Structure formats: C-alpha cells, structure tokens
Chain A
Amino acid sequence: DVKVTQSSRYLVKRTGEKVFLECVQDMDHENMFWYRQDPGLGLRLIYFSYDVKMKEKGDIPEGYSVSREKKERFSLILESASTNQTSMYLCASSPASSSYNSPLHFGNGTRLTVT
C-alpha cells in the first residue's frame, strides 16, 4: 500500500517566517504534488514535480517554491509566510504513465496556521 507521509500534522508560524513542509512517499512514484485545501475553494494545485529536480507551477504558485532533490521527497517552501497562507496543505504522489492519468495517493495533510 502506498504511503505518503507529511512530517507535521499541525504547524503554527509567524508572519514573515520561512516555512518548510516536507513530504515523503515510499512507492518510487515519479510524480509528486502539493495542493492546498480550503473550505469552499476545494483543492488547488500549487506545484508539482514529475522527476528529481524538475518542477512545474500549478494554478496558485505565488508565494511558494518547491524542492525535489530525491525521488521520494518533495518539499514545499513558503518564502515569507503570510496570514492568507493559513490552510490545509496536501501532498500527493502518483506513478508516471504515458497513456492516462494515474490516481493520486494523498498524505494526511499539514494544517498550517500563520499568525
């Protein structure tokens, strides 16, 4: 069974801090994703990566960056946290496929509060 592990379940940070959210998957998946989940807005894609050191912007990349130095680990970085980045952050992974979209496997989420 695929396991996607997010290192923190809850985080509280101050405005202006640099914040790192970590995600590790154990199934050798090529693709990894970061979404944020907000009530009434659903899931919105921040960034994704289809290979080590490769990244693509999603729909709401502003204020975020990512790092993928190893295949199993995908980090989301908030360069200077702001209160509007208070949210639930979901990491997901999927295997590569040339012919169809693979289902995503999600972590438990990190609830970030920026004060």
Chain B
Amino acid sequence: AQRVTQPEKLLSVFKGAPVELKCNYSYSGSPELFWYVQYSRQRLQLLLRHISRESIKGFTADLNKGETSFHLKKPFAQEEDSAMYYCALGRGTALIFGKGTTLSVSS
C-alpha cells in the first residue's frame, strides 16, 4: 500500500544550522513527491515537487529511489522557516500526506 512516513514530529534547530526533514515513501511505481508547508495562520501551500528539481526558499529535495526517500534540506535555517512541513505522494488523482514535521528555528 502507498504510504508516506515522516519519522520526526518536531525538529528544533538554531538559526544558521543545517536542516534535514526526513520523508520515506512506499510506492510500487514511479513516485511523484511533493513538500508542502504551512506557516502559522496561513493556508497549506506547495513548497516544491521532485519533477521540478528546483530550489525554493533555499530548500531542496532529492528523490532517492533506492532508499525510497525524499528528504527536504536547507544548508542554513532561518527563523522564518519555522512551520509545519508535510511530505506528500501522488496516488491516482489525489495526494496522500505524511503526518507532518514541525520545524522550529530559534536564535
């Protein structure tokens, strides 16, 4: 069955430290993967998708089919990165989401 696992509920880092939010998936075909972000009091919004292979707000994510992972990385965290992050996997028309990781960046 298709599944998305985000093993960390909370990740706390200091400003300027590297960040890695983990995401593992279970999918038999060719996966389509996304990262969504929800800042405080804002709607959930797309951060990036693997087919675009782009960097958004300094974040990147590489699909590793061997490890079935799609970890989100940023070399230097900023306080404004504090938010809830969700990894999502395409399943037919819909997306299925992981349980989310709260990123807290403090000075």
Contacts and interface: CB of A to CB of B under 8 A. Distances in A.
Given A31-B93, A48-B94, A103 B99 contact: no
Contact of A43 (B9, B43, B46, B86): B86
Nearest to B32: A101
B99 A42 contact: yes
Contacts, number: 48
Interface string B60-91: 00000000000000000000000000100010
B93 A42 contact: no
B44 A106 contact: yes
B99 A41 contact: yes
B93 A48 contact: yes
A104 B95 CA distance: 8
B97 interface: yes
B94 A42 contact: no
Tier of interface size on chain A: 20 to 34
Contacts of A104: 36, 46, 95
Contact of B96 (A45, A50, A103): A45
A38 B6 CA distance: 15
Contacts of A45: 94-96
B37 to A, nearest CB: 11
A40 B98 CA distance: 10
Contacts of B45: 106
A42 B86 contact: yes
B11 interface: no
Interface of A: 31, 33, 35, 40-45, 48, 50, 56, 58-59, 90, 94, 100-101, 103-104, 106-109
16 contacts: A33-B94, A42-B86, A42-B98, A42-B99, A45-B96, A100-B32, A101-B32, A101-B93, A103-B34, A103-B49, A104-B95, A106-B43, A106-B44, A106-B45, A107-B43, A108-B43
* 9 nearest A-B residue pairs (beta carbon): A101-B90, A42-B99, A43-B97, A106-B44, A103-B46, A101-B32, A42-B100, A106-B43, A42-B97
